[in-house]
Structure formats: structure tokens, C-alpha cells
């Protein structure tokens, strides 16, 4: 019975530590807070790979959120912050990579494949109709 109470107490202490771990950041203006939320939602966590900085609980994401907060409060523009992150972690940190020759296929590849597939589909349909019309004559 004592071990059960000890287990429950440990679980409650563990749960309460999660509430303390939540980040509390103060901003000098509401605009800075909106900018912060926008940036941490648009930047990808370098460790988690499929989560943005806002959703990630990894140590590097916590550090980067603090760094974004500090840079905003220091008066850096959004573009300066994004440029810093790209310079440090590569274009991987962007959910929407910039348009360049290196990312051409990433942006336009699906549309090119769709156009090729549509062209092949139409040509097969036209060829089959010509065969049917030729067989009827």
C-alpha cells in the first residue's frame, strides 16, 4: 500500500513538472509576439525534422525559440532571423524553401509530372479512338 502511494506521489510530481517546464516569454509588444508565433510556426526543428519549432519539445527547439525571441526583441527583422537560421542550419529549416535553380524540381516537379501524365493519357485515348474508327471502316 505504501509503494502504491509512493508511486502516485511520484506520478503527480512528474506531471506537475511538465507544467513548470512550459515556456513563458514576455514581449515588448503584441506585434513582437505575433511575429514570434509566425516565425516558430514557419521554421522546422533541425532535430525532429517534421515538426516546427513551436511544436517540438527537443532541446535544440527550445534553444532556437529562445534565440528567435531574443532576436525579435533586439529589433531584427523577420528576414534577418530567417537568413540567420538558413545560414546556420541550411534551407532544411524552412517549410517553404526559396525558389531557386536548386529547388526548381521541388516546386514544379509535381506539375511537370502531372502534365506529362495527362499528355500520355490523352494520346492513348486518341490512339485507341483512331484504331476503333479504322476497324469500323
pLDDT given for residue 100 in this prediction: 75
Reported as a single tens digit per residue, the pLDDT across 53-112 is: 888 888 888 999 999 999 999 999 999 999 999 999 888 888 777 777 777 887 789 999
Reported as a single tens digit per residue, the pLDDT across 63-80 is: 999 999 999 999 999 999
Q: Give the domain ranges of the chain.
A: 25-98, 102-137
Query: What single string gives the DSSP state of each residue in 52-84?
Result: BTTT--SHHHHHHHHHHHHHHHTT--HHHHHHH
What CATH number does domain 25-98 carry, 3.90.1330.10, 3.40.50.150, 1.10.443.10, 1.10.8.640? Answer: 1.10.8.640
C-alpha span between 16 and 18 (Å, rounded):
5
124 CB neighbour count, 10 Å cutoff: 10
C-alpha span between 40 and 48 (Å, rounded):
14
Average pLDDT over all residues of the chain: 82
Amino acid at each position: 500500500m505504501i509503494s502504491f502511494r509512493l508511486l502516485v506521489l511520484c506520478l503527480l510530481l512528474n506531471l506537475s513538472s511538465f507544467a513548470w517546464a512550459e515556456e513563458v516569454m514576455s514581449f515588448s509588444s503584441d506585434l513582437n509576439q505575433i511575429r514570434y508565433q509566425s516565425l516558430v510556426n514557419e521554421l522546422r526543428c533541425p532535430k525532429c525534422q517534421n515538426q516546427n519549432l513551436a511544436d517540438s519539445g527537443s532541446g535544440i527547439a527550445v534553444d532556437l525559440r529562445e534565440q528567435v525571441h531574443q532576436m525579435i526583441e533586439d529589433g531584427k527583422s523577420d528576414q534577418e532571423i530567417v537568413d540567420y537560421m538558413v545560414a546556420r542550419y541550411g534551407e532544411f529549416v524552412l517549410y517553404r524553401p526559396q525558389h531557386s535553380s536548386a529547388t526548381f524540381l521541388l516546386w514544379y516537379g509535381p506539375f511537370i509530372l502531372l502534365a506529362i501524365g495527362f499528355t500520355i493519357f490523352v494520346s492513348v485515348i486518341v490512339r485507341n479512338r483512331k484504331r476503333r474508327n479504322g476497324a469500323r471502316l
